[in-house]
């Protein structure tokens, strides 16, 4: 089956349960190329589940999911790494390697792709500079503040120029000032052409971003979101 639009992300009647617990029920939505979308909803609404489905970490029970024209609901396990190279992810619990330096953590996606040493050095430094933590490049993640670690995660997610950036509660541990800085970073990445999807509870983020909001409510889209919400900038 092919996607029915040229959207960057398309879900068609997607449902997902864990044992008997429904995480997502009959979700249909499009996210266009270059959009910056907020995914909101109460705890347990299925935000993280939706993001995990998009990177092939979970499979839907029903429905189709397309990312960048690929049917990710039907990917073979061996195809998942190729999908991941096109999608940058920022998880709430960071997942940084504690014994590797900031530089090495951010270099990982490039090493996996067998980039040359010169390319790795150039791209890692350039990305660390863009997110404002270049001066921390030789330190271990544990010696950085939460906000700095969050920036390192974002650097790692964008270093290989992903077409999509997915972030799950990226400002969950940050104060309002740091939150505003991270939102600015996402806007910058989006302005370079990357489609950005941020799952968040944080009303402050919604005010700062002021773009289309997709509300997950009781495991499906809230009624007013079933029709296409307007995009405001
Ligand atoms: N691995 C899992 N095993 C069993 N149930 C799960 C699993 N992951 C999620 N669920 C269930 O699926 C539902 C949706 O969970 P999900 O984590 O996607 O919600 P969320 O919107 O991200 O919530 P939060 O805002 O708290 O992060 C919840 O009822 C949750 O208990
Ligand atoms: Mg979650």
SS (H, E, C) the chain: CCCCCCCCEEEEEEEEEECCEEEEEEEEEEECCCCEEEEECCCCCCHHHHHHHHCCCCCCCEEEEEECCEEHHHCCHHHHHHHHHHEEEECCCCCCCCCCCHHHHHHHHHHHCCCCHHHHHHHHHHHHHHHCCHHHCCCCHHHCCHHHHHHHHHHHHHCCCCCEEEEECCCCCCCHHHHHHHHHHHHHHHHCCCEEEEECCCHHHHHHHCCCEEEEECCEECHHHHCCCCCCC
Residue showing tokens 């799952």: 199
Query: What is the per-residue pLDDT across 136-168, written as a single tens digit (0 to 9) for each?
Result: 999 999 999 988 999 999 999 999 999 999 999
- Let me know if residue 4 belongs to a domain: no
Nearest-atom index, ligand 1, CA of 219:
14
Query: What average pLDDT does the segment 41-50 reach?
Result: 92
- Let me know if residue 169 belongs to a domain: yes
22 CA to centre of ligand 1 in angstroms: 9
Which neighbouring-strand residues pair with 148?
none
Q: Specify the CATH number for the domain of residue 18.
A: 3.40.50.300
- Let me know if residue 138 belongs to a domain: yes
pLDDT for residue 158: 93
pLDDT for residue 95: 83
pLDDT for residue 233: 34
Q: Whose CA is nearest to atom 30 of ligand 1?
A: 44
189 CA to centre of ligand 1 in angstroms: 28
Query: What are 121's two structure tokens?
Result: 């050095």
Domain that residue 93 falls in: 9-226
From the list 232, 215, 218, the residue with the least C-alpha distance to 38 is: 215
pLDDT for residue 220: 62
Residue 76: how many other CB atoms lie within 10 Å: 7
**Percent of the chain residues past pLDDT 90, beyond the cut:** 65
Query: What average pLDDT does the segment 50-75 reach?
Result: 93
pLDDT at residue 114 tops 70: yes
Query: What average pLDDT does the segment 14-36 reach?
Result: 94
pLDDT for residue 89: 94
Band of pLDDT at residue 66, cut at 50, 70 and 90: very high
Distance separating alpha carbons of residues 151 and 20, to the nearest angstrom:
37
- Let me know if residue 2 belongs to a domain: no
Domain count, the chain: 1
Distance separating alpha carbons of residues 104 and 45, to the nearest angstrom:
35
Query: What average pLDDT does the segment 173-188 reach?
Result: 88
Residue 17: how many other CB atoms lie within 10 Å: 15
Least distant ligand from the CA of 43: 1
pLDDT for residue 218: 58
Average pLDDT, the chain: 89
pLDDT for residue 202: 87
Probe target for ligand 1 pocket from 21, 57, 167, with the most ligand atoms within 8 Å of CB: 21
Nearest-atom index, ligand 1, CA of 42:
25
- Let me know if residue 1 belongs to a domain: no
96 CA to centre of ligand 2 in angstroms: 18
Least distant ligand from the CA of 47: 1
CA dihedral 129, 134, 140, 145 (to 10 degrees): -80
- Let me know if residue 233 belongs to a domain: no
Query: What average pLDDT does the segment 56-84 reach?
Result: 91
Residues 6+ apart with CB under 8 A from 109: 85, 156, 159, 160
Residues whose beta carbon lies within 6 Å of some atom of ligand 1: 18, 21, 23, 41, 43-49, 201
Nearest-atom index, ligand 1, CA of 45:
21
187, 139 Cβ separation under 8 angstroms: no
24 CA to centre of ligand 1 in angstroms: 9
Q: Whose CA is nearest to atom 1 of ligand 1?
A: 18
- Let me know if residue 54 belongs to a domain: yes
Residues with Cβ within 5 Å of ion ligand 2? 47-48
Which stretch, 74-83, 161-170, 178-187, 212-221, has highest mean pLDDT? Answer: 161-170
Least distant ligand from the CA of 168: 2
- Let me know if residue 78 belongs to a domain: yes
Residue showing tokens 């997942």: 95
Band of pLDDT at residue 94, cut at 50, 70 and 90: confident
Q: Whose CA is nearest to atom 3 of ligand 1?
A: 18
């Amino acid at each position: 089956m092919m996607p029915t639009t040229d959207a960057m992300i398309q879900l068609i009647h997607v449902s997902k349960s864990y044992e008997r617990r429904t995480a997502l029920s009959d979700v249909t939505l499009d996210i266009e190329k270059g959009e910056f979308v907020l995914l909101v909803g109460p705890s347990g609404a299925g935000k993280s589940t939706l993001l995990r489905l998009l990177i092939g970490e979970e499979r839907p029970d029903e429905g189709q999911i397309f990312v960048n024209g690929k049917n990710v609901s039907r990917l073979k396990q061996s195809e998942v790494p190729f999908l991941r190279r096109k999608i940058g992810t920022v998880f709430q619990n960071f997942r940084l390697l504690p014994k590797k330096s900031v530089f090495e953590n951010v270099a990982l996606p490039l090493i996996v792709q067998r980039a040359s040493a010169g390319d790795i050095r150039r791209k890692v430094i350039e990305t660390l500079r863009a997110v404002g933590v270049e001066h921390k490049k030789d330190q271990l993640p544990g010696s950085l503040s939460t906000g700095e670690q969050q920036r390192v995660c974002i650097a790692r997610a964008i270093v290989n120029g992903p077409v999509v950036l997915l972030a799950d509660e990226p400002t969950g541990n940050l104060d309002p000032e740091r939150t505003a800085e991270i939102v600015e970073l996402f806007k910058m990445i989006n302005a370079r052409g990357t489609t950005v999807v941020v799952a968040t509870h944080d009303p402050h983020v919604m005010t700062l971003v002021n773009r289309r909001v997709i509300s997950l409510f009781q495991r499906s889209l809230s009624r007013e979101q079933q029709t296409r919400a307007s995009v405001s900038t």
